[in-house]
Amino acid sequence: MAFSSFANRLPDPAFKITEAGENSSSGLAGPGFKSVKFTSNQPISVSRTNSGRVITRAVVGQTWKMNITYNAMTRDEFEPVYNFLLEKRGRLKPFFVKLPQHTPRSTTSSTYQVQGAHAAGVDNLLLNVTNATANLRPGDVFTVTDSSNTNHTKLYQIVRVNDSTNKLSSDSDLNLATERRLYFTPPLAHSVTNGSTLSYATPLLRVILASDVQEYSLGTNNLYTFSLNLEEAQV
């Protein structure tokens, strides 16, 4: 059967890729991760005046980094992952990876819709929620689905959640039970238009390999040992 495009997400237990390159339930699932090291890199310039005053500023944008380690794998478990990565030709081609450690801890059936336009650089969004009992929590992550900017792939992590009863006294816009104000890091990399939505049920990070060299070890037990380093790659 013909399909529209090759899968561009690292294979995992919930994402199967056929030998033809299609995402399909009939494909081979990737193995789960043994461990994940997730790093936030926010370069800051720090200077100190003669009087002792400290001056700080962000010099470049924030970037997420990941180190993934797999359990020892059989060849059938290893090949879907390694062949997928080899096709990326080192750092040439970006792809997506699911963040299992950031799966939402509350319901994923609600829609979070942005109210009003928000400029790049702000660190919070006012949203309308279709289910008033739903609640994203600090530590959950999201991307923005904005019809006016399909290149907005930056991943954000929630640090605070305000509702109409628990909010800053100065926040006069947050009044309804179906509204939330999410504070997040880093600040918006792009402006966001009114009506945009949050993608949070299956958080995906757009990445490239951190190195052009990919190597593995094969033991005398015919099991493969493999790990990889990834860096966020915005469009």
Chain-centroid distance of CA 176 in Å reads 29
Distance from the Cα of residue 15 to its chain's centroid: 16
Q: Which two tokens stand for residue 110?
A: 């609600």
The pLDDT of residue 95 is 98
Overall average pLDDT of the 103-126 stretch: 87
Burial class (CB in 10 A: 0-12, 13-18, 19+), 118: buried
Which among 82, 81, 85 is positioned nearest to 15, based on CA atoms? 81
Q: How confident is the model at residue 1 (pLDDT cuts 50, 70, 90)?
A: confident
Q: Which of 26-30, 148-152, 198-202, 228-232 ranks highest by mean pLDDT?
A: 228-232
Ordered by start, the domain boundaries in the chain are 16-100+206-232, 104-201
Residues 6+ apart with CB under 8 A from 47: 54, 55, 56
pLDDT 10s digits, 4-55: 999 999 999 989 999 999 999 988 888 999 999 999 999 899 999 999 999 9
Record the pTM: 0.91
Look up residue 95 and give its two tokens: 């792809």
Judged against a pLDDT cut of 70, whether residue 107 lies above it is answered with: no
Query: Is 70 exceeded by the pLDDT of residue 108?
Result: no
CATH code of the domain occupying 104-201:
2.40.30.290
16-100+206-232: what fold?
Phosphorylase Kinase; domain 1 (3.30.200)
Residue-level pLDDT at 60: 77
Other C-beta atoms lying within 10 Å of the C-beta of residue 133: 10
Half-sphere exposure of 124 (CA within 13 A, CB side): 16
